[in-house]
Structure 1
Amino acid sequence: MKKKNSTDKKYLYKLAFGLAFFTIIYNIIEGLVAAYFGYEDESLALFGFGIDSFIEVISGLGIAHMVLRIQSNPNSNRDSFEKTALRITGFSFYALVIGMVISAIYNILTGNKPETTFWGVIIALASIIIMWILIIEKKKVGKLLDSDAILADAECTKVCIYMSIVLLISSGIYELTNFAYIDSFGTLGLAYFAFKEGKECFEKAKHNKYCSCEND
């Protein structure tokens, strides 16, 4: 029985690592597609969403490393690799926030608007579906392993869904109404969540906490 439990746990940790690895690959693909179409269609919200996905890749590397760490020692604290990844991710989010806010204000003042936000709608819908599936699977694994760290990662993934919803709403409204400023407003909404993510990263690196997303 003890051997069986050990085998089950080994499988679950492999599954948790697989989910983390999939998240990294997905964010790379999403970032490339979103940044490309955002640039081509002059959609600031979609372009910013793409850059956010690249930053999530850095975070994902830290999560994958975390899974390997807690597999070796479930009671261990966050190590230097994870803290460094969190700080780099935090700085990157703050830089993204500055870029998005300045660009959004510029577009509002000059009246710049996208050629289309069709791909923003498609990419946002795909992201919502995939991230929701990831949350469900991460929670299943986290509960079976009784791992606060994996469960916290699942909670933090919800922010990605919130950002996808913001992109979906702003892109959808623009496609339906051609309202000039909605893409910039959507960008500011993304900047708000990016700021929260950046702040969260620094708090986790400093206090060795997992995630406070569930308390927001």
Structure 2
Amino acid sequence: MTALAPLTPSRRERLNRRSLRLAYATVGYNVAEGVVAIIAGAVASSTALIGFGIDSGIEVSSATVVIWQFRSTLPEARERLALKLIAVSFFALAAWVGFDSVRSLLVGEAAQPSGVGIGLAAVSVVVMPLLVWAKRRTGRELGSASVEADSTQTLLCTYLSAVLLIGLTLNAVLGWSWADPAAALVIAAVAVREGVQAWRGEACDDCAAPGAEQACQDGCC
């Protein structure tokens, strides 16, 4: 990966504003997604849909951290704490998804088919990758590990959307109620890994050292 050109103050300011807009868009979409998922999950007695709704709330918390950071006149000063807070959101996501998946597998709950849930998951599979792409591009140009970590949180939400879509479809077509919680356990493991990387993100402070830019770009940044 080639080193990025230094940012001009005006370009940095535009990227800061873009980061804020993307975070606000994430909050708005995930609040609506979470409400629909929880209601649909309650109607269908689907722990997967309810868990997906709670995950949307965790995604909101990650985007809120970015909003808190970039509403500051000096966002870089909040970078380290922002990474810690996003790491906590990863761990919360992993804890919830892992617990809910194991409970669903042990109890063997059979949820009712949910057309609303399938439609919601399908929309999220389309919308979330667009947010991931925009956040990651902005974070890399800005050199913000917190924005990139938030994009990874959104990427995990994309994976969960795909897992939910597959699980709900298999349940509706074949009656395989175990498919969704089994696949979600893999997502929980990935969330733990990403949380650890975000928690260690302060290593990017060393990027200012001569010759360290490439290692930083290939690592946490």
Structure 2 residue aligned with 1:100: 101
Q: Give the C-alpha shift of residue 72 in structure 1.
A: 1.7
What's the CA shift string for 1:67-86, capped at 9, x where partnerless? 456x725487512x652453
Instruction: Classify 1:148/1:199 alpha carbon distance in 2 versus 1 (closer, same or farther; 3 Å).
Output: closer
In 2, the alpha carbon distance for the partners of 1:53 and 1:155 equals 14
User: Percentage identity across aligned positions?
Assistant: 25
Q: TM-score, normalised by structure 1?
A: 0.76
Structure 1 residue aligned with 2:138: 141
Q: Which moved further from structure 2: 10-19 or 52-61?
A: 52-61
Alignment map for 1:72-87 (pairs within 5 Å): 72=74, 74=76, 77-79=79-81, 82-84=83-85, 86-87=87-88
Instruction: Classify 1:86/1:139 alpha carbon distance in 2 versus 1 (closer, same or farther; 3 Å).
Output: closer
Instruction: Classify 1:13/1:127 alpha carbon distance in 2 versus 1 (closer, same or farther; 3 Å).
Output: same
In 2, the alpha carbon distance for the partners of 1:147 and 1:202 equals 17
Instruction: Classify 1:194/1:24 alpha carbon distance in 2 versus 1 (closer, same or farther; 3 Å).
Output: farther
C-alpha RMSD of the superposition? 3.0
2:185 aligned with 1:191: yes
Instruction: Classify 1:95/1:169 alpha carbon distance in 2 versus 1 (closer, same or farther; 3 Å).
Output: closer
Q: Give the C-alpha shift of residue 53 in structure 1.
A: 1.2
2:59 aligned with 1:56: yes
**Conservation of the 8 A alpha-carbon contact between 1:87 and 1:202:** no
Q: Give the C-alpha shift of residue 18 in structure 1.
A: 1.1
Structure 1 residue aligned with 2:207: none
In 1, the alpha carbon distance for the partners of 2:156 and 2:22 equals 17
Instruction: Classify 1:171/1:209 alpha carbon distance in 2 versus 1 (closer, same or farther; 3 Å).
Output: farther
Q: TM-score, normalised by structure 2?
A: 0.74
Q: Which runs of 5+ in 2 are unaligned?
A: 1-7, 205-218
Q: Which runs of 5+ in 1 are unaligned?
A: none
Q: Give the C-alpha shift of residue 202 in structure 1.
A: 4.3
